[in-house]
Chains A and B, each alone.
Chain A
Amino acid sequence: DAGITQSPRHKVTETGTPVTLRCHQTENHRYMYWYRQDPGHGLRLIHYSYGVKDTDKGEVSDGYSVSRSKTEDFLLTLESATSSQTSVYFCAISEPHQGSAYEQYFGPGTRLTVT
């Protein structure tokens, strides 16, 4: 998994509670991403980061916030979890190549259930 770990791997939480998911990488990649994967929708980008303290929104960012205080860690927070946020969450990293696109490599995922 390209040196990416995600924690926790599984979580069950109640509606209205805050939840933080962690993505940790060991290879100093500059770009990090959070996706969610749902049946019929594929992978959708929530937020991404292009450096320490530099983050931006993806297509499904409502209800989520992120922080990146260190190169190796990218945190995703569900401020007040809702049942619609039940999903599998994946972290990804990429690194620029000269004259090329930036292939993305994915972590193992976190399965979140909001009851």
Chain B
Amino acid sequence: QKEVEQDPGPLSVPEGAIVSLNCTYSNSAFQYFMWYRQYSRKGPELLMYTYSSGNKEDGRFTAQVDKSSKYISLFIRDSQPSDSATYLCAMSGGGATNKLIFGTGTLLAVQP
């Protein structure tokens, strides 16, 4: 069983929809949770970073962490065609070297 599980999709939604992307994990030592966006043939781009449980909002994006359920989510409001990309969750137990464990990514397509 992988430490981090993420539905690969693809997920197709109409423009303006609310998108929910999710990851589950098994390692209770994870404390730092990140979401990356990756456009085709580009490097991952850090989108959201959250420490421990709770919510964090940045514009149209909201990241949620539920450590009791070992479940994290990224919500995208008013989705745009430019949001079409692969979304990767990543998490870490912290420490000096901050090794990140990544999900496999969810491919999102927002249809105009």
- Physical interaction between A and B: yes
Could you list which residues of chain A lie within 8 angstroms of chain B, going by C-beta atoms? 1, 31, 40-45, 48, 50, 56, 58, 90, 94, 96, 100-109
When chains A and B are docked, how far (Å) is the Cα of A61 from the Cα of B111?
Answer: 40
Residues on B lying within 8 angstroms of A by beta carbon are 6, 8, 31-32, 34, 36, 41-46, 49, 51, 88, 90, 92, 94, 96-100, 102-105
Minimum CB–CB distance for A10 against chain B, Å: 10
Which residue among A43, A58, A90 has the maximum number of chain B CB atoms within 10 Å of its CB?
Answer: A43
**A43 with B102, Cβ < 8 A, contacts A106-B44, A109-B42 known:** yes
Contact of A101 among B32, B42, B105 (CB under 8 A): B32
20 A-B pairs with CB atoms under 8 Å apart are A40-B8, A40-B104, A41-B104, A43-B90, A43-B102, A45-B99, A45-B100, A50-B96, A50-B97, A58-B99, A90-B43, A90-B44, A96-B96, A101-B49, A101-B51, A104-B34, A105-B46, A106-B36, A106-B43, A106-B45
Contacts of B97 in A (CB 8 A): 31, 48, 50, 56
Say yes or no: B51 contacts A100, CB within 8 Å.
yes
Which chain A positions have C-beta within 8 A of B100?
43, 45, 104
Residue of A nearest to B45 (CB): A106
Residues on B with C-beta less than 8 A from A45 are 99-100
Cα A108 to Cα B98 with chains together (Å): 21
Max chain A C-beta neighbours (<10 A), residue from B90, B92, B94, B99 = B99
CA distance A24 to B100 in the complex (A): 21
Asked whether, in the complex, the Cβ of B43 is within 8 Å of the Cβ of A101, the reply is: no
Residues from chain B with a CB closer than 8 A to the CB of A40 are: 8, 104
